[in-house]
């Protein structure tokens, strides 16, 4: 019985987030149908049913010729017009097919138009109310719209044996285009690599003010959606000093918060140095080797660390001794926290031996199952605590942190972070302009993806259907702010507009195509021909829907398990 209680308790949060995700997606579909409904009424076309939701009718009322209802599944809605299906047409006045071509086109186009308008308004709202870092990252990833200072898309570290290095990529290279398509955001570059497993990519890069064309063939890495492409490179990030301890060696050497670190011991820095616990535990992440190599190079001459610094327009080199401080970060309700370790404590000794950042993780792992005496410094006072746990419990702590104990490393009293561009503020008018720009970029991004699908550059496996979209929305509710969720909903609304305008017979765009043919021919396409085309397209789209839904379901199961 306890098992079932725990199972239900673990599922409830997912049901809640899924419900929160489905409601806005259902609203997007509902306003699409509302557009059709409003246009039909304006054109004098008889609307038999206007439903909020699908399935059996729960409640409703009749007004005029229209049955207004709320149905069992309140996710979306539908409009049923008189004579809408070819098999139901009689030629009577008030039928959809009896209306002039212009009126029918207006009714059909009204649904996508409402989705486009809604997406634009949501984008406007997001920019007008202010964006945070998560929202800026999401907006750039979905549309390629750079926010804040526009920076070059540059390569940082490159794995020595990875496809990027084999193809000739080097740290500091600026990505200009991929297969002729301009790249304006790192996420755009990642997407092209992600969807190109074992497919050569032609990269136009700029290196030392010269243009070069490189051919890079991403490796294939298995995933629940099939193989994904990887080239093992990072995005270049600028390193700044974001904290200096009072009276530390860094402070005495004259280093200031905000200084840009361009080199360490003459070696250019292309990514923010990180030497915390994540670098030292067993991992297949090739970047850890880069961090470890940098750590070892710093320790080669501990009495004279040379930092290349840029401060404003001035560049210079400062030297200072190397001193490491290992600062604890504990997980809530973990063994480490229950033992008395607090965030910010400096770990000094382990069973009486001085802490070595490079070996600390392996030592903790080896000592699991026996009491571990930890000496730490807090508020300039030395304290001792005892970690006690069996080896099994130490392995089950999250995020690879033994006993729930993680740590960051301070180098001679200073800590580093990536430079972040200041996020702009928009007024009511400039935010509308930004919303229009983001809307246009959404169109071009989706259009490019569709083109790549048709050309075989992108597999349908990487598309998301209703389940995938709902899953992505629910994860955003959990992890990011409201502005990110709103922008994503606006993005989906504009996507719905674009997809519905495709010249597919059962989509709005297909009907508009039929109307164009009718206008050219002077008479409608034969009813039988319309029915055959629609039936064939329905079968093909159902097959595509099931194909995409299968991979959406596999991805959802994978997410729930992890």
440: number of Cβ within 10 Å: 13
349 within some domain: yes
E-only strand ranges, 30-117: 47-63, 66-81
Taking the CA atoms of residue 214, residue 217, residue 219 and residue 225 in that order, the dihedral angle to the nearest 10 degrees is: 120
Q: How many Å apart are CA 375 and CA 1, to the nearest integer?
A: 44
Of 81, 51, 84, whose CA–CA distance to 65 is shortest? 81
How many CA atoms, within 13 angstroms, populate the side-chain half-sphere of residue 327? 15
508 within some domain: no
363 within some domain: yes
Give residue 214's pLDDT.
Answer: 96
Give residue 479's pLDDT.
Answer: 64
Of 197, 243, 130, whose CA–CA distance to 462 is shortest? 197
By the 10 Å C-beta count (0-12 exposed, 13-18 middle, 19+ buried), 51 is classed as: buried
Q: How many Å apart are CA 307 and CA 263, to the nearest integer?
A: 6
Q: Hey, is 252 helix, strand or coil?
A: helix
Compute the Cα dihedral for 134, 138, 141, 146 and give only its sign.
negative
428 within some domain: no
Q: How many Å apart are CA 292 and CA 110, to the nearest integer?
A: 59
Give residue 87's pLDDT.
Answer: 64
Tokens of 203: 């990269």
| Domains identified in the chain, total number | 1
Helices 2-42 + 482-500 axis angle, to 10: 50
Give residue 8's pLDDT.
Answer: 47
Query: Which residues, at least 6 apart from 153, have a Cβ–Cβ distance to it below 8 Å?
Result: 174, 175, 183, 184, 185, 186, 189, 235
Residue 413, φ and ψ in degrees, nearest 5: 90, 5
Q: How many Å apart are CA 305 and CA 310, to the nearest integer?
A: 16
Give residue 396's pLDDT.
Answer: 44
Owning domain of residue 333 = 324-412
Q: Roughly how many angstroms between the first and final C-alpha of the chain, as a whole number?
A: 24
Query: Which residues, at least 6 apart from 521, have a Cβ–Cβ distance to it below 8 Å?
Result: none
457 within some domain: no
Q: Hey, is 411 helix, strand or coil?
A: strand
Of 267, 332, 320, whose CA–CA distance to 295 is shortest? 267
390: number of Cβ within 10 Å: 10
CA distances from 527 to 79, 515, 523, 524 (A): 22, 13, 11, 8
61 within some domain: no
Cβ atoms of residues 348 and 354 within 8 Å: yes
How many CA atoms, within 13 angstroms, populate the side-chain half-sphere of residue 561? 7
DSSP secondary structure string for all residues of 339-359: HT--TTPEEEEETTEEP-HHH
Q: How many Å apart are CA 554 and CA 75, to the nearest integer?
A: 23
Give the DSSP H/E element, type plus range, for residue 291: helix 287-299
CA 32 to chain centre: 26
- pLDDT per residue, tens digit, the chain (562 aa), is 444 444 445 555 556 556 666 777 788 888 998 999 999 989 988 888 888 877 888 888 888 888 888 887 766 778 888 877 666 666 678 888 788 889 989 999 999 999 999 999 999 999 999 888 888 888 888 887 877 676 678 999 999 999 999 999 999 999 999 999 888 888 889 988 998 999 999 999 999 989 999 999 999 988 877 788 999 999 999 999 999 998 899 999 999 999 999 999 999 999 999 998 888 876 778 999 899 999 999 998 889 999 999 998 999 999 999 999 999 989 888 888 888 899 999 999 988 889 888 888 888 888 877 888 999 999 888 989 888 865 445 444 445 678 888 899 999 999 999 988 778 888 989 999 999 999 999 998 888 888 877 777 777 777 776 666 766 776 666 666 788 888 989 998 999 899 888 888 778 888 888 888 888 888 777 777 777 777 777 777 777 777 777 777 777 676 666 6
C-alpha angle 141-146-148 in degrees, rounded to nearest 5: 130
Tokens of 211: 């243009």
Please, where are the H alpha helices in 262-418? 287-299, 335-339, 357-367, 391-395
Helices 357-367 + 287-299 axis angle, to 10: 120
457: number of Cβ within 10 Å: 16
157 within some domain: no
135 within some domain: no
Note the residue count of the chain. Answer: 562
The CATH number covering residue 370 comes to 2.30.42.10
**Residue whose structure tokens are 């740590």:** 407
108: number of Cβ within 10 Å: 25
Under DSSP, the state recorded for 229 is E
Cβ atoms of residues 544 and 464 within 8 Å: no
Q: How many Å apart are CA 334 and CA 324, to the nearest integer?
A: 25
How many CA atoms, within 13 angstroms, populate the side-chain half-sphere of residue 10? 9
Q: How many Å apart are CA 472 and CA 467, to the nearest integer?
A: 9
Q: How many Å apart are CA 308 and CA 240, to the nearest integer?
A: 12
- Note the pTM of the prediction, 2 decimals: 0.77
Number of helices (H), then strands (E), in the chain: 15, 22
Q: Hey, is 243 helix, strand or coil?
A: strand
């Amino acid at each position: 019985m306890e098992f079932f209680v725990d199972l239900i308790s673990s599922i409830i949060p997912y049901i809640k987030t899924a419900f929160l995700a489905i409601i806005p997606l259902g609203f997007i579909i509902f306003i699409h149908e509302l557009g059709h409904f409003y246009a039909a009424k304006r054109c004098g076309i008889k609307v038999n049913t206007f439903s909020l939701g699908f399935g059996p009718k729960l409640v409703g009322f009749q007004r005029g010729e229209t049955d207004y209802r709320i149905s069992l599944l309140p996710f979306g809605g539908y409009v049923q017009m008189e004579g809408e299906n070819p098999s139901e047409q009689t030629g009577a006045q008030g039928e959809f097919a009896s209306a002039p071509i212009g009126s029918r086109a207006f009714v059909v186009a009204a649904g996508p138009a409402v989705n486009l308008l809604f997406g634009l308004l949501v984008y406007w709202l997001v920019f007008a109310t202010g964006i945070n870092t998560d929202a800026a990252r999401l907006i750039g990833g979905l549309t390629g719209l750079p926010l804040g200072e526009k920076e070059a898309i540059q390569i940082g570290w490159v794995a020595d044996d990875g496809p990027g290095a084999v193809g000739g990529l080097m740290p500091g290279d600026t990505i200009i285009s991929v297969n002729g398509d301009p790249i304006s955001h790192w996420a755009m570059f990642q997407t092209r690599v992600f969807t190109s497993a074992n497919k050569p990519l032609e990269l136009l890069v700029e290196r030392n003010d010269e243009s070069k064309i490189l051919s890079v063939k991403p490796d294939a890495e298995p995933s629940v959606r099939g193989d994904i492409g990887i080239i093992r490179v990072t995005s270049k990030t600028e390193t700044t000093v974001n904290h200096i301890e009072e009276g530390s060696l860094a402070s005495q050497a004259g280093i200031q918060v905000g200084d840009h670190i361009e080199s360490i011991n003459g070696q250019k820095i292309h990514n923010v140095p990180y030497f915390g616990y994540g670098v030292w535990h067993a991992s297949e992440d090739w970047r850890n080797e880069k961090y470890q190599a940098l750590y070892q190079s710093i320790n080669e001459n501990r009495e004279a660390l040379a930092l290349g610094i840029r401060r404003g327009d001035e560049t210079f080199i400062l030297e200072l001794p190397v001193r490491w401080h290992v600062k604890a970060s504990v997980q809530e309700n973990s063994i480490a926290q229950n033992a008395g370790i607090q965030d910010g404590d400096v770990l000094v000794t382990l069973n009486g031996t001085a802490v070595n950042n490079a070996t600390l993780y392996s030592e903790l792992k080896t000592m699991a199952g026996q009491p571990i005496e930890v000496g730490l410094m807090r508020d300039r006072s030395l304290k001792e605590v005892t970690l006690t746990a069996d080896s099994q419990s130490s392995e089950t702590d999250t995020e690879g942190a033994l006993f729930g104990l993680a740590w960051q490393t301070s180098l001679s009293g200073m800590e580093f972070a990536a430079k972040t561009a200041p996020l702009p503020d928009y007024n009511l008018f400039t935010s509308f302009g930004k919303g229009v720009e983001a809307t246009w970029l959404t169109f071009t991004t989706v259009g490019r993806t569709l083109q790549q699908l048709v050309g075989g550059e992108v597999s349908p496996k990487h598309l998301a259907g209703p389940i995938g979209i709902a899953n992505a929305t629910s994860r955003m509710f959990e992890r990011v702010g409201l502005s990110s969720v709103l922008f994503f909903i606006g993005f989906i609304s504009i996507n719905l507009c674009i997809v519905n305008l495709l010249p597919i017979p059962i989509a709005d765009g297909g009907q508009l195509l039929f109307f164009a043919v009718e206008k050219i021919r002077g008479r409608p396409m034969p009813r039988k021909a319309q029915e055959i085309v629609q039936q064939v397209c329905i079968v093909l789209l159902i097959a595509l829907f099931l194909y995409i839904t299968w991979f959406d379901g596999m991805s959802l199961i994978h997410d729930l398990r992890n």
